[in-house]
Chain A
């Protein structure tokens, strides 16, 4: 509806909302509007799951319609944080966006593979009803393709690492700027290859795009020493690699030893766990720019106080919640019950939490 779009562009929504808040203080107008439609709120980015499309037997594309405040300015290859309420609690994970950025878009897609140990991924793939409201975090990530793209590109992909690359391929296709690109795509079998049909079609009408499939059940994992035989000019290509951690580690070593570290871009979508459990670590306070190394018996609150960060605190025994802060990065453990918090956006009570390896707090 061009009229609605024109309207939403012309109206100074921020000012309208400020005036409206005179009626709703101490709440926001959005708190009432979201009673009418859950997407009518820009307080926290949110979206509604429109549909879940199966891709392979264990992977699905989740199509999300974002609510107010979503800016449609993500770059191909970036990921988005998704908060899903399971058992009453919001759990956050990051997934690569597989739709190209589209200023007038209505929905965005993420493609998720249900991991056996992946609590949230299996929920998204198997247990998510259309209509579910999820929280979103603004798109992030440096694993992006410049515009215009380099003349020669290699995409080195393993398994569900295809999702950010898919966003890039779709963007290149839509803009008609597909360079000389090679996609080396490994998956256990053709059936498990997410987006296989779409990629085949893309390769057919984009002469620049070459697809090299590798089915590791049959052919085994690619030894990078053999890369020259498969992609003879790999040294001349700017490379984007995404896949399981061992593959990325190998790629990193391979490109480094060839002295080409600068032309390799990596996306790690499984994080290496830092630290060895309750042994303490370096606590970094993001906004004050301070950090301190502490042992596994020192709480994050004490760590902050020891370097003069103005930590909020109250009872210091875990009852008053005055000290609650947002975890930006890393893992902490609740001393009372041993629960670990390792998700970005988790809110932790610093007076009873100790770092497990390096962690960063938003203060």
Chain B
């Protein structure tokens, strides 16, 4: 059941919600206050390790005709790409490290090793997804415009293919992300401004050309007789990154405990209610430090959604405090092992490929009208307007 009033859902009075907001603000202030040399050293260390790993992988793969070199090189490149996308790129672009005032590790200048241009990511993810998290009709990350992920969303016969779309999305995740900010739903409804679309496509095209040339032309060419094996190594590394990123991201908002919201919730939403919605709409997973680094600390999805721009290396200590707050206010805190969280997401994908009447709901059936998948056109989101950032403006 989608929620239209977070406070009422959580059985909290408006005063209690505001008090919770103040306590979360205090956690934020405490972390901001204590950011320092250690945090700066952390991100610089991760970046250094990632770049050394990438460079070693590329050099090793020059001899990829030799099987052990292929294996070692592919593994290193895959891990380097995962680290770059998750712990570095995603978090730097959130502005988690902007406080260092270092122009080379800054959200406004970072470009990441994937097909989607950083600028479009910052719009579709930092703004649309983090602002409108899990609000039906506003957050495109509910199923990425491809999958039906909430019972409130209208069923369509095409949803029968969800198991297949899901497998395709996992293997081709980078390309799904690349097209994300285009808003496929809007294009399907013929509501997309063709000029904006053309600009975005051109921007994607430029990035994709460079990315493809690097992995599938330049490095194979440099490998000479090993060209064929370098090509397969690069493709395998990209696949590793795709499947891993897909799995981690699906654990963020699709496990059973993560809730959806209706757009009534957005009306006059206070900052504290926004906090509460983030808390109820996200799900964590448990694991060791290495797992958390390789997943960009998104195992602390709840903390990340409460404080998207605090440094990721601090989420673990924030989680202890957030959990204590959840106990104090008797709020759910969704977490579990990675396999279980992903299993629940997969079950939802499979279940919702069928109309609601064929499947049992884990929560009360939705009341009220069904909604379209995807997000509302911009003109129906009165308080915001589309902003795609500096690059597209400059070439307009």
Contacts and interface: CB of A to CB of B under 8 A. Distances in A.
Interface of A: 22-23, 25-27, 31-32, 35, 43-44, 83, 85, 87-92, 310, 312-315, 317, 319-322, 324-325, 337, 345-347, 349
Contacts of A22: 210, 213-214, 218
Among B98, B127, B308, the most chain A Cβ lie within 10 Å of the Cβ of B127
Interface of B: 29, 32, 35-41, 48, 51-52, 55, 58, 94-95, 98-104, 106-108, 111-113, 122-123, 126-127, 130-131, 207, 210-211, 213-214, 218-219, 222, 271, 308-309, 387, 389-390, 393
13 contacts: A31-B51, A44-B103, A88-B40, A89-B99, A90-B101, A312-B393, A314-B131, A314-B387, A320-B95, A321-B98, A321-B108, A321-B126, A345-B103
Contact of B100 (A26, A85, A314, A317): A85
Given A35-B55, A89-B35, 7 more contacts: A32-B51, A85-B100, A88-B36, A314-B127, A322-B122, A324-B106, A347-B108
A257 B201 CA distance: 64
Contact of B130 (A31, A313, A315, A337): A315
Given A88-B39, A321-B107, A321-B126, A313 B95 contact: no
Shortest beta-carbon contacts, A-B, top 3: A321-B95, A88-B40, A314-B127
A44 B104 contact: yes
Contacts of B29: 337
Given A23-B214, A310-B393, A315-B130, A89 B101 contact: yes
Given A35-B51, A88-B35, A314 B122 contact: yes
Nearest to B54: A32
Contacts of A324: 95, 98, 106-108
A320 B131 contact: yes
Contacts of A25: 210-211, 214
Contacts of A31: 51, 104
Contact of A319 (B40, B113, B308): B308
A23 B35 CA distance: 34
B40 A85 contact: yes
B387 A312 contact: yes
A32 B55 CA distance: 8
Looking at chain B's contact residues, is the secondary structure mostly helix, strand, loop, or mixed? Answer: helix
Nearest to A87: B36
A1 to B, nearest CB: 27
Contacts of A90: 100-102
B101 A321 contact: no
B104 A26 contact: no
Nearest to A83: B101
B37 A88 contact: yes
B123 A26 contact: no
A321 B110 CA distance: 12
A315 B384 CA distance: 9
Contacts of B106: 324, 347
A169 to B, nearest CB: 35
A197 to B, nearest CB: 38
A339 B107 CA distance: 20
B104 A43 contact: yes
Contacts of B218: 22-23
Contacts of A346: 101
A321 B126 CA distance: 8
A168 to B, nearest CB: 31
Nearest to B125: A320
B6 to A, nearest CB: 17
A35 B50 CA distance: 11
A347 B106 CA distance: 9
Contacts of A43: 104
A346 B207 CA distance: 29
A296 to B, nearest CB: 21
A317 B130 contact: no
B91 to A, nearest CB: 11
Contact of B94 (A85, A91, A92, A321): A321
Contacts of A27: 51, 111, 113
